[in-house]
Amino acid sequence: MKRSGNSRLAAVAALSIAAAAAAPAASAQLLGSNLAPNVNIINPPGAPVPVHEVADSARQPVAFSINVGMSWGTQYGCAAYTVPSNKRLEIDHVSASSGVLYQGNTIQASYAAHLGSDVDSYFLDLHDQGFNPAQPLYVADQSQLAFADPGTQVQLCATLKTVQGSGSGGFNALRATFSGYLINVP
């Protein structure tokens, strides 16, 4: 009995090894002869075939800045960029800075983009650079993929932790630069 079980186990192992060894050779032969035939393209030197990326002409690089101004004595402000008609905006990168804060004050920044019936909001990860404690410099630099439909606005907003100053007039609380592409929409 024991000898019969070992023989069966050895036979199953031998068959498994043989099947595993034959499978790659069979699939390579199948790929080489039936699924990937060789193709030769011959162009005379005087008439090369022009090659270009079809989607390239539909995408134009774009960069724009939005400045959020605030009146003295306020904590919140927004500004916007309008996406041109017949173009969809693809945002790939955002950088921002705010250097007008008093010591101990902080800033929160976000932007919103309209895509279809959705309004998507994105927060910027602002960090104090720690260079001058009397006047903090907050910056953000991040890759972030977002889209906005033609004719809609990308709105940049800033919120301060505490009121900045008092009196008349105002200040530039936040500046952000967006880069990406304008994509033609039929």
Domain residue spans of the chain: 62-184
User: Residue 18: is its pLDDT beyond 80?
Assistant: no
Q: In this predicted model, what pLDDT tens digit does every residue of 37-65 receive, in sequence order?
A: 676 667 676 766 665 555 567 889 999 99
Residues whose CB is less than 8 angstroms from the CB of residue 32 and which lie 6 or more positions away in sequence, other chains included? none
Rg value, the chain, Cα: 31
Judge if pTM exceeds 0.75.
no
Task: Tell me which of 1.20.120, 2.60.120, 2.60.40, 1.10.1220 is the CATH number of domain 62-184.
Answer: 2.60.120
Of the two residues 124 and 3, the one the predictor is more confident about is 124
Question: Which of these ranges, 2-16, 95-109, 152-166, has the smallest mean pLDDT?
Answer: 2-16
Question: 107 with 77: CB under 8 angstroms?
Answer: no
Say what the pLDDT of residue 28 is.
47
Backbone φ, ψ for residue 10 (5° rounding): -65, -40
Q: In this predicted model, what pLDDT tens digit does every residue of 73-124 receive, in sequence order?
A: 788 899 999 999 999 999 999 999 987 667 677 888 999 999 999 999 999 9
Q: In this predicted model, what pLDDT tens digit does every residue of 128-144 receive, in sequence order?
A: 887 776 777 889 999 99
